[in-house]
């Protein structure tokens, strides 16, 4: 009888340990699955936002076909694909990423909404700069949320080599090995590639 009780206690303890391990395994699998869904939502929204910004840019520069209507505006539903991706993003995004995504979407919508076909005036470039700033903030927030290194320094400037800036102007402080290879680009900061 005593042996049976000890055996029952051992079995109960083993069963409880197995149950705890199984719950931990499920939690890890759920966390991994949620991370994958979040990453997918981030990438999908970001790609759609970049396509939306290219549409606004091409429209303002006159690179897209002229609109059928005489007012020079973009078609009514030019932003709907990105708006749907933003709604999907709301399910998985962390609060900082969601705030940055809302700001970037709004800036891009404003840029496209106020731009007329072939009218790349000062307002066009001001709205583009506002969009570029919000897109950079979104990009940084997404990278940080996914556990990657951010691209914005503490002083608000993008990191060199992050894809958001070109090499700095040559002020005589280039590293010797870069000089020996003949590298060093004399350019100022630029928007990300494709803009």
Quote the pLDDT of residue 137. 95
Quote the pLDDT of residue 163. 81
Question: Quick check: 106 pLDDT over 90?
Answer: yes
User: 192 exposed, middle or buried (CB, 10 Å; 0-12, 13-18, 19+)?
Assistant: middle
**pLDDT tens digit string along 149-171?**
989 888 888 888 788 864 444 44
Residues 6+ apart with CB under 8 A from 171: none
Over the chain, what is the mean pLDDT? 84
pTM comes to 0.74
Contact criterion met (CB below 8 Å) for 79 and 38: no
Contact criterion met (CB below 8 Å) for 136 and 100: no
Question: Quick check: 189 pLDDT over 60?
Answer: no
Q: What angle do CA 114, 93, 139 make, to 5 degrees?
A: 55
Question: Quick check: 124 pLDDT over 90?
Answer: yes
In SS3 terms, the chain reads as CHHHHHHHHHHHHHHHHHHHHHHHHHHHHHHHHHHHHHHHHHHHHHHHHHHHHHHHHHHHHCCCCCCCCCCCCCCCCCCHHHHHHHHHHHHHCCHHHHHHHHHHHHHHHHHHHHCCCCCCCHHHHHHHHHHHHHHHHHHHHHHHHCCCCCCECCCCCECCCCCCCCCCCCCCCCCHHHHHHCCCCCCCCCCCCCC
């Amino acid at each position: 009888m005593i042996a049976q009780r000890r055996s029952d206690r051992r079995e109960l303890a083993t069963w409880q340990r197995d149950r705890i391990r199984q719950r931990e395994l499920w939690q890890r699998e759920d966390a991994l699955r949620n991370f994958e869904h979040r990453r997918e939502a981030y990438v999908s929204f970001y790609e759609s936002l970049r396509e939306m910004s290219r549409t606004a840019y091409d429209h303002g520069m006159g690179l897209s076909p002229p609109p059928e209507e005489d007012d020079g505006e973009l078609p009514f539903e030019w932003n709907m694909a990105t708006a749907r991706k933003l709604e999907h993003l709301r399910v998985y995004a962390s609060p900082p990423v969601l705030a940055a995504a809302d700001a970037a979407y709004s800036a891009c919508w404003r840029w496209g909404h106020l731009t007329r076909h072939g009218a790349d005036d000062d307002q066009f470039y001001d709205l583009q700069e506002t969009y570029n700033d919000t897109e950079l903030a979104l990009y940084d927030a997404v990278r940080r949320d996914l556990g990657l290194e951010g691209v914005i320094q503490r002083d608000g400037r993008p990191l060199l080599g992050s894809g958001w800036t070109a090499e700095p102007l040559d002020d005589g402080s280039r590293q010797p090995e870069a000089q020996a290879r003949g590298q060093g680009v004399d350019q100022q900061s630029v928007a990300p590639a494709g803009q």
